[in-house]
Structure 1
Amino acid sequence: MILRNRAMPWLVIAGLLGAFLAFGCSTHSEHDGHDHSAHGNAANSHTDHAGMDHLTMASSPGAADAPLELQFIDTMIVHHQGALDIAKLAEVRASRDELRKFGAAIIADQDREITQMKRWRSEWYKDAKPAINMDFPGMRDGMAQMDMKRLGELREADFDREFIRQMIVHHSGAVVMSRSLLDKAAEIKLKPELKKLAEAIVTAQSGEIEQMNKWLAEWK
């Protein structure tokens, strides 16, 4: 799927990132990996952009020239928000308890990571322009299969299968993005905190992809 021809104006993208960065940067603890046991009220703590059209996003102007760490942070914030948007649907529409709990876990984990990335951005790149790079390895592919409209029309078992299908692709994109950053760690002198986050994303989301593939095979 070629997305460039459907790109929204870059000012809208800048506004979305500004909203992400302005929200809740002081309430969460340092990232400590993907702890799926701590769901709390995370589902209600992130900015609500469920209506955001992930298929029409464009890169921020000059994003590819920004520091790679900043590109990763800004782009992964948007990528994570996409996961939150569809995970919220799973909490209320999935037919299986396992999938509802899985959706809640995604919300808790990725909401926490968004908050952490916003905090780092504020500390490291406070005055930098938005650097959302849709051509960051894994980003465009990870977002391309997201179809909120279709998910919104499905219920029960049909929803379960489509949710899993979309989330596998989305998770795969996050893994590729994180590995791409880690591959450049020595070259760019990657900050240890960001390295730890990227490694945690690879580990956790690879495991979740494996689990989702098992569910697809079992839930005929």
Structure 2
Amino acid sequence: MKSPFYLAVSICLLISIASCSKDSGIKLQAHDNNRMMDSVHVMMSRMDTTKMTNDPDIDFAAMMRMHHQGAISMANLEIQQGKNDSLKRIAQKTIEEQQKEIQDLSRILAGLSVDNSDPEFTMEQKANMGKMDTTADIQLITGDIDNDFATLMIVHHQSATDNASAYLHHGHYPDLLDMAKSMVKSQTMEINELASWLIANKRKP
């Protein structure tokens, strides 16, 4: 579940960007025409159509692997088309870290078989995915790659921390528990970094 602090920050950012858009003439772009949003939708479609096993270890690893692939797609787009060096460094770090974690998740999945059933975790994971989908769809997207990368990566990372936090309450596999703890820490730090960038780089006409 999103913390009250994160919800407050999100609302403030939305109001700030909306006010800026209204007063300064910033043009918004339809989500269906936005390449960064397209990466989010492709990721969500893959996750939505994946059959859950109700085993927290398997489902967390499988979903996070797809989740990471979505982040890599977004980061590649930022590197290819973005203009801000700070965001490009974040994008490169994201690619390197999440490619490594995808390898680790694949290795772990190869050695797991379904031997736990925890429908409560499945419900939490589905709820977190739904929240990400809804939250992404209400963001104000400008068509500026840098702005859209920072905006949507915050949503992406918050979803990852939500899922990782849920797994910490339901999971059993030691390596995955360690990964979940690391995800919460590292992606919370990046959320703060990206939010600070958005606040400091309000778009001007």
Residues 80 and 134 of structure 1: is their aligned pair in 2 closer, same or farther, counting only changes over 3 Å? Answer: farther
1:101 alignment partner AA: R
Looking at structure 2, the residues matched to 51 and 59 of structure 1 have their Cα atoms a distance apart, in angstroms, of 14
Q: 2:128, 2:159 within 8 Å by CA — same for their partners in 1?
A: yes
2:167 alignment partner AA: L
Of 156, 166, 172, which residue of structure 2 is paired with 1:170? 156
Residues 91 and 51 of structure 1: is their aligned pair in 2 closer, same or farther, counting only changes over 3 Å? Answer: same
Q: Which has the higher helix share?
A: 2
Residues 168 and 52 of structure 1: is their aligned pair in 2 closer, same or farther, counting only changes over 3 Å? Answer: closer
Looking at structure 1, the residues matched to 94 and 74 of structure 2 have their Cα atoms a distance apart, in angstroms, of 10
Using structure 2 for the length normalisation, give the TM-score.
0.66
Deviation at 1:141, TM superposition (A): 2.7
**Alpha-carbon displacement from aligned partner over 1:80-122 (angstroms, at most 9, x marks no partner):** 1110111001112111111111111000001100100000011
Aligned residues: 153
Q: 1:139, 1:173 within 8 Å by CA — same for their partners in 2?
A: yes
Looking at structure 2, the residues matched to 161 and 171 of structure 1 have their Cα atoms a distance apart, in angstroms, of 16
Match of 2:92 in 1: 104
Using structure 1 for the length normalisation, give the TM-score.
0.62
Of 35, 48, 72, which residue of structure 1 is paired with 2:60? 72
Match of 1:93 in 2: 81
5+ residue gaps, structure 2: 1-38, 115-121
Match of 2:131 in 1: 141
Looking at structure 1, the residues matched to 131 and 161 of structure 2 have their Cα atoms a distance apart, in angstroms, of 11
Residues 134 and 180 of structure 1: is their aligned pair in 2 closer, same or farther, counting only changes over 3 Å? Answer: closer
1:203 alignment partner AA: K
Match of 2:111 in 1: 123
Match of 2:147 in 1: 161
Match of 1:46 in 2: none
Looking at structure 2, the residues matched to 162 and 172 of structure 1 have their Cα atoms a distance apart, in angstroms, of 15
For residues 1-220 of structure 1, what are the structure 2 equivalents within 5 Å?
53-57=42-46, 58-61=48-51, 63=52, 65-125=53-113, 136=125, 137-144=127-134, 154=143, 158-185=144-171, 190-220=172-202
Deviation at 1:142, TM superposition (A): 2.9
RMSD of aligned alpha carbons: 2.6
Report SS of the residue matched to 1:89: helix
Runs of 4+ residues deviating >6 angstroms: none
> Identity of counterpart residues, as a percentage?
25
Looking at structure 1, the residues matched to 154 and 182 of structure 2 have their Cα atoms a distance apart, in angstroms, of 17
Q: 1:79, 1:139 within 8 Å by CA — same for their partners in 2?
A: no
